[in-house]
Amino acid sequence: MKTKLTLLLVLIFVVAVSPVAAADKPTVTLWSTGSQNVSDLFNNLIEAYNARPESTSVVKLQFILSGTGEDTLSSRIAAAYKTGKTNSGFDIIAENSTSLQQYIDEAGSTDLFRDLDFSKIPNYKNLLIKPSIYESKFVPYRGTTVVMAYDSARLPNPPKTWDELEAYVQANPGKFAYNSPSTGGAGSGFVRTAIYKFLPEESYMSNDPKWAEQYDQGFALLKRIHPYLYKSGGKVVYPNKNQGTLDLLINKEVDLIPAWADQTLSNLANGTLPDTVKIYQLEDYPLGGTDVVMAVTSIGADPEACYDFINYVISPEGQKKCLELMYAVPVIDISTIQSDAAKMIEGLDVSSFKVFSIGSLGDVINQRWDREIATLP
């Protein structure tokens, strides 16, 4: 009888206390944008984090796919900041640093994002890189870069420099394509690199409007190659989204494209791309990459609750997921991650990636591209 009574009391205690204990964990909402593989990564990271008994928060994801209105997110967050909201539902933002610079530009203040207490992110000390801008506010969580992807079965000797690339495109009409820059970072990275390779290095981390006055050489290059790009129905086509150009490569309609390294490697791993597809960088001026970071807003309900998840993402466990789920280049020493996927990213060193952080000048480039390139016959 005593044993039964004890068991009954234990059951009552578990039923009564467990929901309260779960409810005691604060909820953090993470917002991000990008391709489906980024969404899949965060869903997996969040599921694993929320399942850990030692996790101190419950994380939820709000994700906007590229090309489906992701540009409105910065405006919404800036508007919430300007109205003084402190419980906006925007807690952690995971984006590349250039995008977050645009958020700051729209908000009109760097105070949109909090200065972080790195003592509460113990894994931060293990990072191989620092953010390209706002070191006190941003935490890099994965490295990525745009590369050249080609089918070696049809193109055994791809162009190695920008001059060789231009010559190849003109000599092989229809065999090269890049996506419209406003619909995905691969096309955007290609366009920005084509422009900024003519500018001084100090412009790479600046949103000063003066640099837009020096874009003519880059746009001249884009105009020169335009007539020789992939065509459908006799008209040059710039595919929508990063996957659009990969689909052309998959279907053997083109032989060479700029593409995100992680997205290409993911497509190779799942068999969507043939194993004859290889990646490389142009030797004289590599295509631009980005540091992809997390930042805590000043308009969330509980900024302290954000630290634990950020620390988890840059832990060996979190970085292993970044590597295995989307072939992102880890931001910590890869020797601390036991994974067969490591061989897939050989030669990709996160500390050597060329990074552009130009804020609202990205919109200036896209708008000029829409006016001057997209309208060409």
More reliable by pLDDT, 10 or 275: 275
Query: Given this model, what pLDDT does residue 20 score?
Result: 38
pLDDT of 256: 98
Check pLDDT > 70 for residue 9: no
- Kindly state whether residues 203 and 325 are assigned to the same domain: no
The per-residue DSSP string of 48-75 comes to HHHH-TT--SEEEEEEEETTSSTHHHHH
**pLDDT tens, residue by residue, 322-364:** 999 988 889 999 889 989 888 888 777 777 777 888 878 999 9
Same domain, 207 and 132: no
Q: What is the pLDDT of residues 295-316, one digit of tens each?
A: 999 999 999 999 999 999 999 9
**Percent of the chain at pLDDT above 70?**
93
Considering the domain architecture, whether residues 158 and 133 belong to the same structural domain is answered as no
Quick: pLDDT tens for 127-173.
Answer: 998 888 899 999 999 988 899 999 999 999 999 999 999 999 999 99
More confident residue, 65 or 290: 65
Residue 234 and residue 367 in one domain: yes
pLDDT winner (highest mean) among 9-18, 117-126, 330-339: 117-126
Query: Within 13 A of 42's CA, how many CA atoms are on the CB side?
Result: 24
Do 229 and 367 lie in one domain? The reply is yes
Question: Quick check: is 5 in a domain?
Answer: no
91 and 219 part of one domain: no
Residue 8 lies in a domain: no
Q: What is the pTM of this model?
A: 0.74
For residue 248, pLDDT beyond 60: yes
Q: pLDDT > 90: what percent of the chain?
A: 71
99 shares its domain with 182: no
Same domain for 121 and 167, yes or no, is: no
Range of 250's domain?
A: 144-289+358-372
Instruction: State how far the Cα of 296 lies from the Cα of 121, in Å rounded to an integer.
Output: 13
Do the domain assignments include residue 1? no
Instruction: Provide the pLDDT confidence category of residue 83 given band limits of 50, 70 and 90.
Output: very high
Domain contains 302: yes
Same domain, 158 and 282: yes
191 and 100 in a single domain? The answer is: no
- Same domain? For 128 and 195 the reply is no
Q: Is 12 within the bounds of a domain?
A: no
CA-to-CA distance for 290 and 272, rounded, in angstroms? 25
Say if 53 falls within a structural domain.
yes
- Asked if 190 contacts 287 with a C-beta cutoff of 8 angstroms, the reply is yes
Can you give the pLDDT at residue 22?
55
How many domains, in total, are found in the chain? 2
- CA-nearest of 120, 119, 118, 102 to 290 is 102
**175 domain-assigned:** yes
Give the DSSP letter string of 144-193: EEEEEEEETTT-SS---SHHHHHHHHHHSTTSB----GGG-HHHHHHHHH
CATH of the domain at 85: 3.40.190.10
> Average model confidence (pLDDT) for the chain?
90
Q: Are residues 166 and 284 in the same domain?
A: yes
**Confidence (pLDDT) at 347:** 73
